Amino acid sequence: MVRQWYSNIWKEGKYIDLWSINHILGGMVLAGIFIFFNLSLTWALILGFLITISYEIYEMLTDHFETPANKILDILTSLLGVYLMYMLKDLNLLDFNAIFASVFFIFLILEVWGFLALANR
How high is the pLDDT of residue 24? Answer: 97
Contact 48, 31 (CB under 8 A): yes
Which one-letter amino acid corresponds to residue 102? S
Pairwise pLDDT comparison (121 vs 111), residue with the higher score: 111
Say yes or no to pLDDT of 12 above 70: no
What does pLDDT average to over the chain? 87
Cα gap 120→114, rounded to integer Å: 10
**DSSP-assigned letter for residue 4:** P
Contact 81, 25 (CB under 8 A): yes
**C-beta neighbour count of 79 within 10 angstroms:** 21
Q: Kindly state the average pLDDT of the residues 27-54.
A: 97
Cα gap 100→97, rounded to integer Å: 5
Say yes or no to pLDDT of 34 above 50: yes
Q: Kindly state the average pLDDT of the residues 58-65.
A: 82
Q: Kindly state the average pLDDT of the residues 34-49.
A: 97
Helical pair 68-91 and 18-36, crossing angle rounded to 10 deg: 40
Q: Kindly state the average pLDDT of the residues 62-79.
A: 87
**DSSP-assigned letter for residue 66:** -
Which one-letter amino acid corresponds to residue 95? D
| pTM of structure | 0.86
Which one-letter amino acid corresponds to residue 113? W
